[in-house]
Chains A and B, each alone.
Chain A
Amino acid sequence: AQSVAQPEDQVNVAEGNPLTVKCTYSVSGNPYLFWYVQYPNRGLQFLLKYITGDNLVKGSYGFEAEFNKSQTSFHLKKPSALVSDSALYFCAVRDTSGGSYIPTFGRGTSLIVHP
């Protein structure tokens, strides 16, 4: 079974400050992990993914995420937040041992960047 948790419904950060959006997961085997961003009334846009290898993954728009196997986490980070980063962020996990191609998505975290 696979599951993912985003423990914060909302994250508030001032423009120019670093941001972190948290994600933890549970899988039986090894995980594929994904981050997506959703703007109002739009579909999800792919930001980045972890498959294997380097624990620090770089993605679109200056975002990066760190895979931590011991803590089963995949937190999304950005060194300097922009007001335009304000959106809904979703973490997703797929268990590579399950044989299914279907990821499980978290409930989402609303990021609000204040000017």
Chain B
Amino acid sequence: DTGVSQNPRHKITKRGQNVTFRCDPISEHNRLYWYRQTLGQGPEFLTYFQNEAQLEKSRLLSDRFSAERPKGSFSTLEIQRTEQGDSAMYLCASSLAEGADTQYFGPGTRLTVL
């Protein structure tokens, strides 16, 4: 499968714990995006990378959230001190930096904070 992959697919954690998600983009794609999606809403942008550089972060992204893409390939999204309001689907997408920059999405990681 040469699409975007995300792990884990599901994560259940207790409030206050830290969680980390991983995204592996399509191999030749140099842009990588993180989104959050809650029920009844479209994806909300969190942050994006071009290669290893984090170029844009949403104002929605609290300081408990951090993302890395150390070698310009896979990316991790960490949430520290999780809160119940963090429960959502976390989506990763990747794109090739050309033309309309069409984004291709992974299957998502569903986070449930108890």
Interface set, chain A 59-115, CB cutoff 8 A to B:
90, 92, 94, 100-103, 105-108
Do A44 and B101 touch across chains, with their CB atoms under 8 A apart? Answer: no
**Min distance, Cβ B112 to any Cβ of chain A, angstroms:** 13
Count, A-B residue pairs, CB within 8 A = 57
Interface flag for A34 (CB, 8 Å): yes
Complex Cα–Cα for A102 and B44 (A): 10
Interface residues of B, CB < 8 Å — how many? Answer: 27
Interface flag for B31 (CB, 8 Å): yes
- Determine the residue in chain A with the shortest Cβ distance to B106: A43
**Min distance, Cβ A50 to any Cβ of chain B, angstroms:** 8
Complex Cα–Cα for A41 and B42 (A): 14
Do B40 and A108 touch across chains, with their CB atoms under 8 A apart? Answer: yes
Do B56 and A100 touch across chains, with their CB atoms under 8 A apart? Answer: yes
Interface residues of A, CB < 8 Å — how many? Answer: 22
Interface set, chain B 27-48, CB cutoff 8 A to A:
31, 33, 40-45, 48
Do A49 and B43 touch across chains, with their CB atoms under 8 A apart? Answer: no
Contacts of A36 in B (CB 8 A): 105
Complex Cα–Cα for A92 and B103 (A): 11
Given contacts A46-B103, A103-B103, 20 further A-B contacts (CB under 8 A): A32-B101, A36-B105, A41-B108, A41-B110, A43-B93, A43-B106, A43-B107, A51-B99, A51-B100, A90-B43, A92-B42, A94-B101, A100-B56, A101-B31, A101-B48, A102-B48, A102-B56, A105-B43, A107-B42, A108-B42
Q: Write the residues of chain B forming the contact surface with A, with a CB cutoff of 8 angstroms.
A: 4, 6, 31, 33, 40-45, 48, 56, 91, 93, 95, 97, 99-108, 110
